[in-house]
Structure 1
Amino acid sequence: MAYRVPRHPKVKDHASRQTFLARVVGLVLLWALVAVIALVGDRAIAPQHLPWKPLRVIDPVGLATKAKAARTGADPLACRQALGQGGVAFTAAPPTTGDCKVSDALILTSGLAPLKPAEAALSCKEALALTIWERQVVQPAAIEVLGQAVVGLDHYGSFACRRIYGRPEGPLSEHASANALDLAGFRLADGSSVSIAGDWKDQGAKGVFLRRVRDGGCKVFVTVLSPDYNVEHADHLHLDMGGWPSCN
């Protein structure tokens, strides 16, 4: 059996101090690096890519937009401030009762292409994400691909006190908390329209536009479901700010 020479207590103390100092120095260097990145990032990187920067609906969609929209939307005051600062007007939706109580939903009145039907109750975080998507995804795509602006958003509903797919059992839908919108199509400046049901398989500009706004929506909303997902979504884009992240 090999014999190990015991280490002197002073040697152990010295080694412990060295380890402690190494850890302290490592932490100091790490935080210094974080500080440098933050400082450089604030000056050189656009705010939509920086998660610590405030969310603004006037900023293009960036790497941090989805996370910031979810975080800001979870704070009722911050969410309403972000909408107001972006020039979006809204009123309080009537509170609902029963199994699906929603007391702080909004109805958007101006600041983006009007919804039809207009009386769509939306949670603030859903309204915030919808505003960002309409301004920073839908309108640029419409101008670039279709050569004109979108002047209206047609939908099948926002709030609905029901379970997923209307089943008698199972979890409640995000619609039950006014946290989702089923977008049916877009009205264009020249009086024409683009619909999910009629134009999703279009091989031309309308089809390109619809996929562009679906893909862009995935960078803003938590969940985006399209006709590519299943037959239940053959005629609309399901856009919501809750549940599991999904882009289909």
Structure 2
Amino acid sequence: MRYRVPHNPRIEHEVKHRARLARYAGLVILWLIVLLMAFVAERKIPDQHLPWKPLSVVDPVGLATRVKAARAGADPKLCRGIMTRAGVTYAEVPDRTEGEFCQLRDAVQLQAGLAKFEPADAPLVCKEALALTIWERQVVQPAADELLGQGVSSLVHYGSYACRRMYGLQEGPVSEHATADAIDVAGFRLADGSVIGVASDWTDPGPRGQFLRRVRDGACKVFLTTLSPDYNAEHRDHFHLDMSGWTKCS
């Protein structure tokens, strides 16, 4: 004959009651730990590493910079406000649609407050302009000063807005350039007038190549997509930087 545990409603009720109390106590302890960690983070961890802190162009690039830049860029008013507070001036670019899939929406033309563009015309959606501003201020200029002993006066580029599909093919995915969500940076003109080019200096073992690799690595912490000569032959002569593509650093 199998042994049966005696049925005792009072004991069963007490066991269930204590189990509920244990669960509640566990939840309270968990929340206390979370609050304590948040309190410590607020006091000890720099703002650039905390995703709930406001984005500022003056903050160094941190673990949360890319997330905060993407989030701020989704709000046109907030995006422009951050750039304005950083001393960046810009002109609004009128909205327009071109062809089946090309359009400019929420685009600006950066005018002053960072290195010039060569050529000057480079319309960018606000989130791309914001990321470019952070990258130029917190990555490009410090790297140039440390490795090359001078600042960057111009960003040499192959274009931002272009009505085309990826790689200029007749079929396939639409390029981020078709909505001005990207820019292709080909080189950097220094204060003395010399140019460091991605095509000519990427493999340089000296300061010029070190500078290019440092700014590429820094771009990966700001932009959603950063493609360089390490990615494929199509990017042998420029950095593709965008804030609307798939997350990739190469």
Give TM-score, length-normalised by structure 1. 0.95
Partner residue, 1:143: 145
Partner residue, 1:211: 213
Range moving further from structure 2, 83-92 or 178-187? 83-92
Question: How far did 1:30 drift?
Answer: 1.6
**Structure 2 CA distance, aligned partners of 1:175 and 1:154?**
16
Question: How far did 1:6 drift?
Answer: 5.4
**Structure 2 CA distance, aligned partners of 1:200 and 1:52?**
37
Q: Over aligned residues, Cα RMSD in angstroms?
A: 1.4
The secondary structure found in structure 2 opposite 1:184 is strand
- Once superposed, which parts of structure 1, at least 4 consecutive aligned residues long, lie more than 6 Å away? none
Partner residue, 2:232: 230
For 1:88-124, what per-residue CA distance to the aligned partner results, in whole angstroms no more than 9, with x for missing partners?
1111112221322222111111111011222211111
Range moving further from structure 2, 19-28 or 229-238? 19-28
Question: How far did 1:135 drift?
Answer: 0.4
Partner residue, 1:96: 96
The secondary structure found in structure 2 opposite 1:107 is strand
**Structure 2 CA distance, aligned partners of 1:37 and 1:57?**
26
For 1:157-180, what per-residue CA distance to the aligned partner results, in whole angstroms no more than 9, with x for missing partners?
111121111222222111112111
Range moving further from structure 2, 204-213 or 22-31? 22-31
Question: How far did 1:20 drift?
Answer: 2.1
Range moving further from structure 2, 20-29 or 214-223? 20-29
The secondary structure found in structure 1 opposite 2:97 is coil
**Structure 2 CA distance, aligned partners of 1:148 and 1:190?**
8
**Structure 1 CA distance, aligned partners of 2:67 and 2:125?**
17
For 1:21-74, what per-residue CA distance to the aligned partner results, in whole angstroms no more than 9, with x for missing partners?
222222222221221222221121111011111000000001111111111111
For 1:169-210, what per-residue CA distance to the aligned partner results, in whole angstroms no more than 9, with x for missing partners?
222111112111000100101111101111111121100000
**Structure 2 CA distance, aligned partners of 1:179 and 1:11?**
66
**Structure 2 CA distance, aligned partners of 1:28 and 1:84?**
43
Range moving further from structure 2, 7-16 or 108-117? 7-16
CA shift in 2, pair 1:20/1:78, >3 Å: farther
**Structure 2 CA distance, aligned partners of 1:171 and 1:5?**
68
**Structure 2 CA distance, aligned partners of 1:102 and 1:170?**
20
**Structure 1 CA distance, aligned partners of 2:80 and 2:15?**
56
CA shift in 2, pair 1:125/1:6, >3 Å: farther
**Structure 2 CA distance, aligned partners of 1:77 and 1:137?**
25
**Structure 2 CA distance, aligned partners of 1:131 and 1:6?**
74
Match runs of 1:16-95 below 5 Å: 16-95=16-95
CA shift in 2, pair 1:12/1:227, >3 Å: same
The structure with the greater share of residues assigned to strand is: 2
- How many pairs are equivalent? 248
**Structure 1 CA distance, aligned partners of 2:137 and 2:96?**
29
Amino acid at match of 1:76: P
2:163 pairs with one of 144, 161, 164: 161
Partner residue, 2:188: 186
